[in-house]
């Protein structure tokens, strides 16, 4: 998965802009932009939105959730991509987990999670 810094840098270079030029357009310092591009610091929500708006791409693209610059992920897919905790029963109810093409029941999924926990405790 591409980091947000790589995406920002690629977009800036694609538009033949220097860090100084982009930083001025966004109303941030060149140093801040450099930190974002090198993934040393995460941009604030407002800054991510400014960058996405400026380059006319989705925030999902900037954050590496999708490789399609115009695509915005459905909220359920975004939740899945950002954080998947299988032991959370709401996740088990919301998403179909399958093995060999057959959907796991919630009880099977819980046994699977218990198995993984047991395996990890042996290490």
Residue-wise pLDDT for 22-38, tens only, equals 999 999 999 999 999 99
Name which CATH class applies to 4-62: mainly alpha
CA pair distance 53, 61, nearest whole angstrom: 12
Domain boundaries, the chain: 4-62, 84-121
**Above 60 in pLDDT, residue 1?**
no
What tens digit of pLDDT does each residue of 90-107 get? 767 777 778 888 888 888
In the chain, % of residues over pLDDT 90: 29
The C-alpha torsion from 96 through 101 and 85 to 111, rounded to 10°, is 110
Q: For the whole model, what pTM was predicted?
A: 0.57
Are residues 81 and 65 in contact, defined by beta-carbon separation less than 8 angstroms?
Answer: yes
Give φ, ψ of 56 to 5 degrees: 55, 50
Q: How confident is the model at residue 119 (pLDDT cuts 50, 70, 90)?
A: confident
What is the overall mean pLDDT for the chain?
82
Other Cβ atoms within 10 Å of 9 Cβ, number: 19
Which is higher by pLDDT, 48 or 70?
A: 48
The confidence score (pLDDT) of residue 93 equals 73
């Amino acid at each position: 998965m591409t980091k947000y810094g790589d995406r920002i840098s690629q977009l800036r270079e694609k538009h033949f802009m220097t860090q100084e030029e982009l930083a001025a357009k966004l109303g941030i310092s060149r140093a801040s932009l450099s930190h974002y591009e090198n993934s040393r610091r995460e941009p604030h929500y407002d800054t991510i939105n400014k960058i996405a708006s400026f380059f006319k791409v989705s925030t999902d693209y900037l954050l590496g959730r999708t490789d399609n610059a115009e695509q915005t992920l459905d909220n359920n897919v975004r939740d899945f991509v950002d954080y998947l905790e299988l032991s959370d029963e709401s996740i088990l109810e919301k998403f179909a987990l399958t093995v060999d093409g057959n959907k796991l029941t919630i009880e099977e999924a819980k046994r699977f999670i218990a198995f993984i926990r047991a395996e990890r405790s042996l290490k």
